[in-house]
Structure 1
Amino acid sequence: MTFKPENSINQTVFLPKNKGIELVVKREDKIHPFVSGNKYRKLKYNLIEAQNSGFKTLLTFGGAYSNHIAAVASAGQNLGFKTIGVIRGDELGSKIERNPTLSFAKECGMQFKFVSRTDYRDKTSQNFIDHLKKEFNTFYLIPEGGTNTLAVNGCEEILNDSDKDFDYICTSVGTGGTVSGLINGSNSNQNVLGFPALKGDFLKEEITKFVTQSNWSLITDYHFGGYAKINPELIRFINHFKNTNRIPLDPIYTGKMMFGIYDLIHKGYFPAGSKILAIHTGGLQGIAGMNMILKNKNLPIIE
């Protein structure tokens, strides 16, 4: 790779009535302005593999406000790859200029293929991939969300020696790659907690494919109704957290995770004196798109 990230920093946050509990945020969102957080980690070894194998084009998948789409577009521009984004929602083709994420990706040179939500469900089928190959010829395929074995290898590098004294490692969960890397990179005496942004327990099977330890569990009570679903309570929490700690949170992933951590502390889930490390996985580019939706619904926006 020809560009490198900054080092992440650990930042202690304020906890009212903390029972001796320490909460620290690992600011992975600070490591790169556009390929930040877990997106850099997931893409790192995939991009190296694409380069070493002589690919000139990257193809991947995502939704209207996908952090992954934005990161692939930016990384591709940095490294000289042509990029193709297969986007969920064929109606979005006429709305690129009104969408901050897609506009950014287009400015980075990404070419789009918009497909219906029905067709998008078949994106992992061999027939779907074969049609893409006929249309675009040779490309290096990166899965939706970036999760594969190489992505997990990258996420194993999130934790370092300075993190070994934490009792709990917390992260938001989308496709499972980041939490899998954290599990593999953690010490066996640490507890890794994943906070899924989607409904359901289906991610357990996916995570199990990648992990080498059993020191983990999923906390499934803080999805706020499902992926990209939020409410005024979550917005108030995100804004208060930012005003108190000077740390912005995205509403899809890290906001829900942090809300869950605070609620679990309040409910006594963590023993007194626990040391908790929360991974900030980035995703801040999605705030602009979410605020457009909130304004249309006459709801408070994320500051």
Structure 2
Amino acid sequence: MTSPTTLTPRLPSPLQEVGDERFDRYGLRLLLKRDDLIHPDLIGNKWRKLVPNTEAANGRPLVTFGGAYSNHLRATAAAGRLLGLPTTGVVRGQELAGRPLNPSLARCAADGMRLHFVDRSTYRRKTEPETLAAILRTAGAEEAYVVPEGGSNSAAVRGCRALGEELRGHADVVAIACGTGGTLAGLAAGLTAGQRALGVPVLKGGFLEGDVQALQERAFGARTGSWSLDERFHFGGYARTTPELHAFAKDFEDRHGLPVERVYVAKLLYGLVTLAAEGAFTRGTAIAAVVTGRPFPEG
């Protein structure tokens, strides 16, 4: 088995201040929390979530869940490769079975992950005990350690608390793009009084506030820290983009020399630029944007 030192991160991840006129004109400071540099294979919050779960697995195979473009599936497959653990990815969409794999799923397979496709109705019920047992049985993963979709469980939320602790004293507002909400739940718990966390969901539906609160209650016993969500910047849903978003991301890349991942990071930065123009932040506010990922090559 590969040594666990292969998961050794760069901590704390760098905090980089950037000059950007879209913030400067309102007297705001923009800082980038470069969690994309935390580990070459387990990027950003994926490392923070997965390491506690691989430790809890105690050498057992891993099974987890995600869509066809899931960053979490790729990270879990990479963790399995690095640690010598078998992995199974349960993928939403039975219609994908037998088709050529997209680059994201192909990377999972190259890292040794077995892919098990299920229909969308079954996938929606995957947390129900009977449905989960049936999925694990048909996937041949009955003895595996189950990591939930997005990696968000109590172990992961507690692992993400360190992200907030690393940002104490550095920013007034810490903003992060959200999928399942686990990173926001932990981040907010790690901040100090006077700091607040802002989540920008990349999925539409308006369900995330209840999910984040439930995650905090399970991990810490109660809602913890000051946090809120702005649901306006999902651009149609998970992995959905528009020409406007691509143009914004390309412009940000050109301004700052930073590759901008489109599924999460571009939506976060777009949201912050919009909020700054709306006057959502008082002059003198320092805003830390957590960069949770890097662009994934499509070829």
Q: TM-score, normalised by structure 2?
A: 0.90
What is the one-letter code of the residue matched to 1:27? R
Give, in angstroms, the shift of residue 118 of structure 1: 2.0
Bigger drift between 153-162 and 39-48 goes to: 153-162
- 2:187 aligned with 1:176: no
How far is the alpha carbon of 1:59 from its aligned partner? 0.4
Q: Which moved more, 1:17-26 or 1:185-194?
A: 17-26
Per the normalisation by structure 1, the TM-score is 0.89
Give, in angstroms, the shift of residue 163 of structure 1: 3.9
Q: Verify the 8 A CA contact 1:188 1:213 in the aligned structure 2.
A: no
Contact 2:164–2:188 (8 Å) recurs in 1: no
1:112 matched to 2:115: yes
The one-letter amino acid of 2:198's match is L
Does 2:292 correspond to 1:288? no
Partner of 1:39: 46
2:32 corresponds in structure 1 to: 25
Using the TM superposition, give the Cα deviation of residue 161 of structure 1 relative to its aligned residue in structure 2, in angstroms.
4.8
- Structure 1, unmatched stretches of 5+, are 290-303
| 1:295 equivalent in structure 2 | none
- Rounded to whole Å, the distance in 2 between the matches of 1:29 and 1:214 is 24
Q: Is the 8 A contact 1:156 1:185 kept in 2?
A: yes
Change (3 A) 1:96 1:35: farther
Select 2:81's aligned residue among 70, 77, 83.
77
TM-superposed CA distance for 1:162, in Å, is 5.5
* Percentage of matched positions with identical amino acids: 39
- In structure 1, the partner of 2:219 is none
User: What CA distance in whole angstroms lies between the structure 1 residues aligned with 2:135 and 2:124?
Assistant: 14
Alpha-carbon distance between aligned partners in 1 of 2:20 and 2:205, rounded to the nearest angstrom = 29
Match of 1:64 among 39, 64, 68: 68
The residue identity in structure 2 corresponding to 1:47 is T
Report the equivalent of 2:192: 187
Partner Cα distance (1:283, 1:141) in 2: 26
Segment drifting more, 186-195 vs 10-19: 10-19
Q: Indicate whether 1:260 and 2:271 are aligned.
A: yes
1:235 aligns with 2:246: yes
* Residue equivalent to 1:129: 132
Secondary structure (helix, strand or coil) at the match of 1:220 reads coil
- Alignment CA distance shift 1:198-1:93 (3 Å): same
Question: In 1, are the aligned partners of 2:18 and 2:32 still within 8 Å (CA)?
Answer: yes
Which structure 1 residue ranges, 4+ long, deviate > 4 Å from structure 2?
A: none
Per-residue deviation, 1:134 = 2.8
1 CA distance for matches of 2:19 and 2:253? Answer: 11
Give the structure 2 partner of residue 143 of structure 1: 148
Match of residue 245, structure 1, among 249, 252, 256: 256
Contact 1:46 1:142 in 2 (8 A): yes
CA contact (8 A) 2:175 2:287 kept: yes
Match of 2:206 among 179, 201, 209: 201
Going from structure 1 to structure 2, the CA distance change for 1:64 and 1:133 (only over 3 Å counts) comes to: closer
- Equivalent residue letter for 1:235: H
How many aligned positions are there?
Answer: 284
The CA distance in 1 between the partners of 2:137 and 2:194, in whole Å, is 49
Q: Gaps (5+ residues) in structure 2?
A: 217-222
Residue pair 1:192, 1:215 contacting (<8 A) in 2 also = yes
Structure-2 separation of matches of 1:283 and 1:119? 31
Give 2:220's aligned residue: none
Question: CA shift at 1:283, angstroms?
Answer: 5.1
Q: After superposition, give the CA deviation of every residue in 1:221-265 in whole Å (9 maximum; x if it has no partner).
A: 111122222111110010010111111222211110100101111
Equivalent residue of 2:260, what SS? coil
Asked if 2 retains the 8 angstrom alpha-carbon contact of 1:84 and 1:113, the reply is yes
Distance 2:235 2:167 in 1: 33
SS at match of 1:81: coil
What is the Cα deviation at residue 138 of structure 1?
0.4
8 Å contact 1:86–1:114 — kept in the other structure?
yes
**Is this contact kept in 2: 1:67–1:283, CA < 8 A?**
no
User: CA RMSD of the aligned region, Å?
Assistant: 1.6
